[in-house]
């Protein structure tokens, strides 16, 4: 396989590597469970052209991926793309992923720093369950004509009552911790200090409740709220923020980093193989075993970090 550059190329490389050497099936199909926009159509087309294998995509999120794979014992999908911090824990408890055979992966196609981070975060009992796919940051989407927002805590300004939105997800907790001047990741080794910081963040969010129009689940939900003028400022990951900016008719809607800088590494997506293959599918899943998840990738556990 020729060397491929870029995220799409990296993902195609992962697909080819994980599909290589598996048993041939009557109905060759690679089943992927992933987030929206993470498996571009051109990558699927290139993979099909190079291998002759069809790709079936199921859109999901971290919680649903783990639930679905847990319900089937890892069967039904060949590759999963959770956040890297959702891999080793679920794998240890439920055994839904299969260790990667790194001899079939061209590791020189990955950025060394990202590869090392994901390796550390997705290795359990000496076996690696994921490869890096992409990473990003959390920031803000703001209608600049109707609100002045420079940091996450500004979403709680009295004048924005009922006009802002956030997600009920871990990145929100991390982002607000940074906005309060603290580094939550630096406290991971101090359980008491970390718990105290989370209590402080919780109190801040409770006091902010009246400002929140709703807790959104996906970028389309937030996009519609901006279009209708129901929401004027929100916390949003980078690609989602740009989508809202581009697809709203108002040029005043802007995606921006918080004043102190973007929340770093909101998430890293990893690629992992699921525990058991669906009958008649191409898969790296073998005899059943435990697993982990975090960076978005293909069937393994991703690691949610200061930006997950």
Domain ranges of the chain: 6-135+266-274, 137-265
Each residue's pLDDT, cut to its tens digit, for the chain (308 residues) gives 333 333 444 455 444 444 443 434 435 899 999 988 788 899 899 989 998 999 999 998 888 999 999 998 888 888 898 888 888 989 999 999 999 999 988 899 888 988 898 898 899 999 999 988 877 777 888 988 899 999 999 999 999 999 999 998 888 998 999 999 999 988 978 999 999 999 999 999 999 999 999 999 877 888 889 889 999 999 987 666 555 655 555 556 666 666 655 444 444 456 666 654 333 322 222 222 222 233 344 433 332 333 33
Task: Report the pLDDT value the prediction gives residue 215, as an integer from 0 to 100.
Answer: 94
Between CA 141 and CA 160 the distance in angstroms is: 14
**DSSP element (H, E) containing 244:** helix 238-247
Q: Do domains 6-135+266-274 and 137-265 have the same CATH topology?
A: yes
CATH 3.30.450.20 holds for 137-265: no
Supply the CATH classification number for the domain 6-135+266-274.
3.40.190.10
pLDDT at residue 36, rounded to an integer: 80
pLDDT at 220: 83
pTM over 0.75: no
Q: Write down the pLDDT at residue 274.
A: 63
Question: Which among 71, 67, 102, 100 is positioned nearest to 82, based on CA atoms?
Answer: 67
d(CA 2, CA 49): 14
Cα 82 to Cα 30, 85, 126, 190, 252, distances in angstroms: 17, 8, 20, 27, 33
Rg of the chain (C-alpha set): 20
- Report the pLDDT value the prediction gives residue 121, as an integer from 0 to 100: 86
Distances (CA, A) of 11 to 16, 211, 236: 9, 40, 24
Q: Which residues contact 116 (CB under 8 A, 6 or more apart)?
A: none
Amino acid 253: pLDDT: 64
- Give the model's pLDDT for residue 239: 61
Q: What is the DSSP letter of 21?
A: T
- pLDDT at residue 252, as a whole number: 63
C-alpha to C-alpha distances, 31 to 15, 44, 96, 102, 128, nearest whole angstrom: 11, 11, 15, 20, 21
């Amino acid at each position: 396989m020729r060397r491929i550059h870029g995220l799409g190329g990296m993902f195609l490389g992962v697909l080819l590597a994980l599909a290589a050497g598996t048993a041939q099936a009557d109905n060759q199909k690679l089943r992927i469970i992933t987030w929206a926009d993470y498996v571009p159509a051109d990558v699927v087309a290139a993979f099909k052209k190079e291998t002759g294998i069809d790709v079936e995509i199921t859109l999901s999120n971290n919680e649903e991926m783990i639930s679905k794979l847990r319900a089937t014992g890892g069967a039904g999908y060949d590759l999963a793309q959770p956040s890297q911090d959702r891999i080793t824990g679920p794998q240890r408890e439920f055994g839904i992923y299969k260790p990667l055979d790194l001899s079939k992966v061209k590791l020189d196609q990955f950025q060394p720093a990202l590869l090392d981070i994901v390796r550390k975060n997705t290795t359990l009992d000496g076996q690696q369950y994921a490869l890096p796919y992409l990473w990003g940051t959390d920031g803000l989407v703001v209608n600049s004509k109707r609100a002045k927002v420079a940091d996450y805590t500004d979403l709680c300004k009295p004048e924005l009552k009922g006009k802002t939105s956030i997600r009920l997800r871990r990145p929100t907790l991390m982002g607000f911790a940074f906005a309060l001047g603290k580094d939550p990741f630096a406290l991971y080794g101090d359980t008491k200090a970390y718990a105290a910081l989370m209590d402080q963040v919780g109190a801040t969010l409770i006091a902010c409740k009246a400002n929140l129009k709703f807790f959104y689940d996906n970028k389309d939900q937030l996009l519609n709220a901006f279009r209708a003028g129901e929401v004027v400022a929100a916390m949003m990951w980078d690609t989602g923020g740009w989508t809202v900016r581009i697809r709203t008719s108002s040029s005043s809607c802007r995606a921006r980093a918080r004043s102190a800088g973007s929340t770093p590494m909101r998430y890293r997506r990893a690629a992992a193989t699921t525990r058991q293959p669906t009958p008649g599918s191409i898969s790296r899943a073998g005899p059943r075993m435990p697993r982990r998840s975090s960076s978005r990738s293909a069937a393994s556990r991703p690691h949610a970090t200061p930006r997950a």
